[in-house]
Structure formats: structure tokens, C-alpha cells
Structure 1
Amino acid sequence: MPWIKNWFSNMLPLDTPFEYQGILFSTVENFYVAMKTQKHEVELRKQIAAMPPHVAKRFGRQLQRRPDWEGIKLPVMEFALRIKFAPGTSWYKKLIATGDTEIVEYNNWGDKFWGVIAYYDGRTITPSNPRIGQNHLGKLLMKIRAESR
């Protein structure tokens, strides 16, 4: 089954890479995975930043996460999303163009934290019923959108 593709995917490149801790990040995904490591693991963070985003995501599943990760992962994601969707970027225009529409990160890979589980039949996305997932990515994007108005 093909993956569901969301227009706001964290795998898609930012308009301009951003620097954090002296490291350039081109995608939200690479930044997010790199931040799972301890603050002093700069070389490992550089390696993650240089990976294709899908490779970084897989790599991140094997990492020993920093002890405070569960408590900071939402603010880490929000930080990177605010950069990607900052006013003046092409991503900002796409976000604002959604109006008041609910933004849902539908996925068929089982991510119940960041998204909502759905199925793709080759033509349409069909949410699971009842809706399963917390949709934290969509909620963060809607928060950023609301604050931008």
C-alpha cells in the first residue's frame, strides 16, 4: 500500500535550512530526530542532519533518547514548525490558505501520537472509524495558524 502524503509533511524541505547549535537542518524531521540525542552529542546531531529525512526517521527509532524526551518532544516539534511555517515562507502561505479547515495528519503507518490512522485506497484517504489518534501535528499547525492571524 502506498504511503499517505500530506502537504505539510515533516519530510519535505524548508524554504531555507536553519542553523541550530552550529548545525544546518533542512527538514523538521531531521531536526526532531537530532534533538532526541543528548545536548552534548553534537557530532551525532550533525550526522542526523545530513541524512535523508526518511533515513533519519528510521535511525531515530534506534536511538537511546535523552531522559527528558517525553517532556520536551512537543515543544521541540513546535519550535521547528514555527521556523518552517514562519511568515514570508512558502509554507506560511500554504498554512494560511487552509482557512479554518481542521488540519489532520492522516497516516497509514500507525502513528497515533502525531496523527490519525487512516487508509489510502489509491484515490481517497479514509479515516479509521472511530477516529484513532491524537493528531498533535495537526493541532500544532492549527495553533501556529491561529496565532498568525
Structure 2
Amino acid sequence: MTDDDAPIVLTDMVAEFRGPTWTLSNFAEHPMDIDGHRYATVEHYFQAMKAVSAEDHDCIRDAATPDEAKRLGREVDLVPDWRDRRTDVMRRALAAKFTPDSEAGRFLLATGEATLIEGNDWGDQLWGVSDGRGRNLLGVLLMERRGALRARE
């Protein structure tokens, strides 16, 4: 990433992960290796980790697109404690994507002190904000990861 590629934060907030801030999206392709497997996106990893069976996990991991991975993740039998595990799974995926020496990690650091909000129009009020409401867990975890990267500088 060059200085010209760094996100331009004109306010104290990034309101969505599209266009110039696409790198922050779970659908942005930044391949990562976790536990001996390669995942094309955070979405591939997150959805694959829902699966009870290794076959379903591998099918999701190998999905052609993050959209397909998400669709497949909605169709599998979930690991029994998924609701309790999902935040830690996302945290692990973000740590694998946003490493200190990666383009994605440098991009995240370049957001400075901006509040990161996963603004969306598909109704996700757990991981993001839709219609002005939501827990914005993805944004919170990204800011947490940014703090961890900053502490390593």
C-alpha cells in the first residue's frame, strides 16, 4: 500500500466498508492461513467455522465467492455453542487478516482514531448498524484490532 492508497478519513468516523474503505469489509479478498487452511476472505473463515462437519467446513472454505460462503454458512448444521464462539471466531479472523506486515494491517492503522461502523442496508444489527441501530460488533472488533496493531508499533 502506498500513501496514495491509504484511506482518507475526513471525519472521525468511517460509516461503511465500501469504496475506498472496502479493505475493512469481511468480503474483501485478503487470503489468510489459519490452522493449516487457506481462506480467501474473513467471510469464508467465519462461515466455515459454523459447520459441524469437516465436509461442510471445506465446502464453505472453498466457495468461489464470499457471497456463496455466506449462503452456504446459512445452510449447515451449526456447532452447538456457535452463539458463544462467534465473536472470538471473528476476532481470530481479523487478527489473521490485519497483521502488522500486511497491506490490510497498514490500511487499518491508517484509519487513525476514526470510529469504524459497518453501516449496511441488509439489516445486520449485530455486526453492523442498519437504519441507525445496531451493536456494530465488526466495527468494535476492528477498532480493537487497530489498537493491538498500534501497540506493536
Q: Flag whether TM exceeds 0.5 (same fold).
A: yes
Counterpart position of 1:18: 33
Q: 2:66 aligns with which of 41, 49, 53?
A: 53
Counterpart position of 1:44: 56
- Quick one: distance in 2 between partners of 1:10 and 1:78? 12
More helix by share: 2
- Quick one: distance in 2 between partners of 1:115 and 1:132? 8
Counterpart position of 2:101: 88
Q: TM-score, normalised by structure 1?
A: 0.82
1:1-149 to 2 correspondence within 5 Å? 5=18, 7=22, 8-14=24-30, 16-20=31-35, 22-38=36-52, 41-51=53-63, 52-117=65-130, 128=131, 131-149=132-150
Highest RCO, 1 vs 2 (Cα 8 Å, sep ≥ 6): 2
CA RMSD of aligned residues (A): 1.4
Q: TM-score, normalised by structure 2?
A: 0.80
Percent identical among aligned pairs is: 38
Structure 2's unaligned 5+ residue stretches are 1-16
- Quick one: distance in 2 between partners of 1:19 and 1:141? 18
Structure 1's unaligned 5+ residue stretches are 118-127
More strand by share: 1
